[in-house]
Chain A
Amino acid sequence: MTRWGMVIDTDRCTGCAACMVACHAENNIQTVGEVEAGKGRAMHWIRIERYYEGEFPDIKVRFQPVMCQQCGHAPCEPVCPVYATYHTPEGLNAMVYARCIGTRYCANNCPYTVRFFNWFSPDFPQPLERQLNPDVSVRSAGIMEKCTFCVQRIQGAQDVAKDEDREVRDGEIRTACSQSCPAEAIVFGDLDDPESRVSEFAEQARATRLLEELSTEPSVIYMRGGR
C-alpha cells in the first residue's frame, strides 16, 4: 500500500519562496490583493514561516515551509458534516470541492492553520486565465481548500505507470513545490516503500514532525538540527 509523504529539509531551505509561487501556478490558487490579505485572508497553500534566533548583527534566520501535513489522524476530517474532506486509502486528506458547504469547522480544528477559505470568488483578469492549470478546478466563493500534495500529478503518474504495466517509480512524482525548490529541500515519495528517499530521510536522527504531541500523525517530515 502506498502512503504519500514529504520530507522538508529546513537545514537546506533558503526561504526563497519559489515553492509558494510554483504552488500558486500549479493549483490555480487565487491572489486576494493587499486589502484582503491585510484582513488575514491571504491564500498560500504553502507558506514560509520565519523564525529569528539571537539579536542583530548576530542573528540567525530559520525557515520552515508549512503546508497541509496530510495527517494520518486528521482533526479536520471527522468534523465535516458533509464528507467534503476525507481520508483516501493512500493517506491523503482529500478535498471534494463540490460537496463543501463552507461550515469552516475543518479549518477551526486544524492545529497547523493550513486550510484556506474562498471568501470571494477568484478573479483571474485577462490574460491570467490562460495560465490556469486545466488539471485543477478553480474554486468559487464559500469553499474550503488546502494543499493536496499535487494530487493531479500523483494521479497522472499512476495513470502512466498503469498503462506501462508497472509500479510508480520513486522520484517519478514531484510536487510543484519540490520541483521548484532550488535547494532541493523538499522531497516527495512513498513512506511505505522502505527503499524510497523519503523513507531514508524519515529514519535519520534529524527527522521530526510538527506538533507531534497532538497525535495527528502528520505525513510531512521536517529535517532540522544538522548545521
Chain B
Amino acid sequence: MTVSARAATARSHEENLIKPLTAFRPKLFVGSLISGGVMALLFYSWGYQIFNDIGVAGINRPVFWGFYITNFVFWIGISHAGTLISAILRVTQAEWRRPITRCAEAITTFALMIGGLFPLIHLGRPWIFWYMVPIPTYRGIWPNFRSPLMWDIMAITTYLTGSLLYLYLPLIPDMAILRDRALKETPKTLRAFFFRIMAIGWRGTPQQWHSLEAGIKAMAVIIIPVAVSVHTIVSWDFAMAIQPMWHSTIFGPYFVVGAIYSGVAVLMVAMYLLRKGLGIGEYLSDKVFNNLGLLFLAFALLWGYFTFAEHLTVWYGNEHIERLVFNERIFGKYSGFFWTMMVTNVLIPLAILPFPKGRKPLGTAIVGLAVLVGMWIERYLIVVGTLSYTRLDYTVGTYAPSWTEMGIFVGSIGMFLFLYFVFVQTTPIVSIWEVREGHHLEVKAQRQALAASREEP
C-alpha cells in the first residue's frame, strides 16, 4: 500500500465514523425524543413518590426491598460491560477490541449513573441522603463504616469517577479531530465551543501521546480491581445479612460473574443496534461479534456453574429456613421466575452460542436480550424470594410492584437509551484514533513480514 493510499484509508475511517455526528439522522432524532419521553416517566414517578411518601411503592413488611434494589443490582451489573471488555482486552492487547471499547465504556458510565440513582430512589427520606456522606458538620453525624451500604457508596463513587476518566481519556484525540473540523467548517458555534472544551488543548505532540498512553494504561489496570470490588460489595449487601439464601460466601464472585454476564449481554444488543442503525458494519465486524460471542459463552457457563453450586449446597445443607426459600424458588411460588431464568440464562445461550453460525450479530443480540431478562429475574428472586419468608412463620409476606415502581423501572430503561442516543450523536462511537492506530500497526506488521521474507536466502 502506498503512502497516499494509506492516508486515504485513514481519512475514510474518519469520514465513516464522524458521519453520525454531522449528518441529520431522523432515526436517531426520533429515538432520542421517544427515549427522552420514557425517561421523563422516571422523574415523574420519583417526584410523585417523594411528594406522596415512599408508601406509594408496593414494598411492605417483610419485603422491605423490592423493585428498586432489584434494579439497582441490575444496572450496576450492566455497568460491568465496559470494564471487562475494554480494560481486560486493553491489558491483554487484544487487537479486535479497538472498535468496541468506547461503546462498552459508555455503557458502563450510563448504567452506573442510573444504578446509582436507585439507592436514592429507594430511601424513605431521600432528601437527607447526605447523612451517608462523610462530611464533617457541626451536627457531628458520621456514617457507619461497618454498614455494607457505606461500602456501596464508597465503591460506586470510586467506580463512577474511574470509569468517567477511563471513558474520557481515549476520547481526547477524537475530540481534537472533531474540534479541528468544527473550527474549519462551523466556527463560532456552540458545537465548536463544546468540542474545544472537550479536547482540552490536544495538539497531538509526542509528549501528549506519551502521557495519554501512560494514563490509559494506568486506568485500565486500576479499573479492573475497582470493578470487581464494586459488584462484590453489592453482593455483600445481601451476603452480610443473616437472611436465608443471602448469607452465602460465594455471593461475591457469583455476582461479579453475573454482572459481567449481563454487561456483555447489553454490549451485544447495543453493538447489534449500532451496526444496524449507523451502518458501521465495517468496524463492528462479524469477527468482533464472534470473539465477543465466545466470551459470552464462557460467562454463560460460569454463571450456570455458580448457580448450580449455590443451589446444590443450600439443598444439601437442608437447613429449615434455607430449605423453605429454596423450595419456594425451585418448586413453589417463584418457580415460574426461576425456570424462566434457567431457560434465558442457560438454555438459550447454550443452544445458540457454541455454534459459529449462532455467533453472528443477530444470534448474539437475541441471546443478549434473553440474558438481560434472565439476569433481572435473578436479582428479583434474590431480593423478593428471600424477604418473603421469615424465620417466625407468623410474619411471612408477599410483594407486588406498584405503578410507581414500574414507572421508575421503565423510565430507567428510557434514561439509558436516551443517554446513549445523545452520546452517539455527540461522540464518535467507534474510536477513530484507535482504529487508525490498529490499521498502522497492521501495515507495519505486514511490512516487516515482507522485509523478512525478502531477506531470506
Contacts of A78 in B (CB 8 A): 144, 146-147
A123 to chain B, nearest CB (A): 12
A residues 59-83 touching B (CB-CB < 8 Å): 66, 75, 78-83
> Per-residue CB proximity of A94-110 to B under 8 Å, as 1/0?
00000111111101110
B residues 76-116 touching A (CB-CB < 8 Å): none
In the complex, what residue of chain A is closest to B242 when comparing beta carbons? A75
B residues 116-144 touching A (CB-CB < 8 Å): 119, 122-126, 128-129, 131-132, 141-144
A residues 23-50 touching B (CB-CB < 8 Å): 36, 39-42, 47, 49-50
Contacts of A91 in B (CB 8 A): none
- Given A81-B147, A102-B54: A40 in contact with B125 (beta carbons within 8 A): no
Say yes or no: B61 contacts A40, CB within 8 Å: yes
Cβ of B351 < 8 Å from any Cβ of A? no
- Given A82-B132, A111-B242: A103 in contact with B149 (beta carbons within 8 A): yes
A116 to chain B, nearest CB (A): 7
Bound-state Cα–Cα, A2 to B223, Å: 50
B147 to chain A, nearest CB (A): 4
In the complex, what residue of chain A is closest to B64 when comparing beta carbons? A104
> Per-residue CB proximity of B374-385 to A under 8 Å, as 1/0?
000000000000
Cβ of B339 < 8 Å from any Cβ of A? no
Say yes or no: A142 contacts B123, CB within 8 Å: yes
A110 to chain B, nearest CB (A): 9
Contacts of A141 in B (CB 8 A): 53-55, 124-125
Say yes or no: B132 contacts A81, CB within 8 Å: yes
Cβ of A131 < 8 Å from any Cβ of B? no
A175 to chain B, nearest CB (A): 21
Say yes or no: B144 contacts A83, CB within 8 Å: yes
Say yes or no: B53 contacts A82, CB within 8 Å: no
In the complex, what residue of chain A is closest to B63 when comparing beta carbons? A40
- Given A40-B62, A101-B131, A102-B124: A109 in contact with B147 (beta carbons within 8 A): no
B residues 395-411 touching A (CB-CB < 8 Å): 395, 397-398
Say yes or no: B394 contacts A143, CB within 8 Å: no
Say yes or no: B394 contacts A142, CB within 8 Å: no
Contacts of A75 in B (CB 8 A): 241-242
Say yes or no: A40 contacts B243, CB within 8 Å: no
Our pick among A81, A102, A105 for the contact of B125 (Cβ within 8 Å) is A102
B341 to chain A, nearest CB (A): 22
Say yes or no: A101 contacts B132, CB within 8 Å: yes
Cβ of B392 < 8 Å from any Cβ of A? yes
Say yes or no: B62 contacts A113, CB within 8 Å: yes
Contacts of A105 in B (CB 8 A): 147-149, 237, 241
Say yes or no: B55 contacts A119, CB within 8 Å: yes
B67 to chain A, nearest CB (A): 13
Which of A101, A102, A120 is packed against the most chain B CB atoms within 10 Å?
A101
A residues 83-135 touching B (CB-CB < 8 Å): 83, 99-105, 107-109, 111-113, 116-121
A127 to chain B, nearest CB (A): 25
In the complex, what residue of chain A is closest to B61 when comparing beta carbons? A40
Cβ of A161 < 8 Å from any Cβ of B? no
Say yes or no: A80 contacts B123, CB within 8 Å: no
Cβ of A210 < 8 Å from any Cβ of B? yes
Cβ of B65 < 8 Å from any Cβ of A? yes
Contacts of A107 in B (CB 8 A): 61-62, 64
Bound-state Cα–Cα, A49 to B394, Å: 6
Contacts of B144 in A (CB 8 A): 78, 80-83
Cβ of A211 < 8 Å from any Cβ of B? yes
- Given A78-B147, A111-B242: A103 in contact with B123 (beta carbons within 8 A): yes
| B contact set with A: CB distance below 8 Å | 53-55, 58-65, 119, 122-126, 128-129, 131-132, 141-144, 146-150, 153, 237, 240-243, 387, 390-392, 394-395, 397-398
Task: Please list 17 pairs of residues, one from A and one from B, whose beta carbons are closer than 8 Å in the complex, sorted by A's number.
Answer: A39-B60, A78-B144, A81-B147, A82-B131, A82-B144, A83-B141, A83-B143, A101-B125, A101-B126, A102-B125, A103-B119, A107-B62, A107-B64, A112-B392, A121-B53, A142-B54, A211-B392
- 6 closest A-B pairs by beta carbon, nearest first, are A102-B124, A142-B124, A119-B55, A40-B60, A141-B53, A142-B125
Beyond known contacts A42-B61, A82-B144, A113-B62: 11 more, CB 8 A cutoff: A47-B394, A75-B242, A78-B146, A81-B132, A81-B149, A104-B59, A111-B392, A112-B392, A121-B53, A142-B53, A142-B123
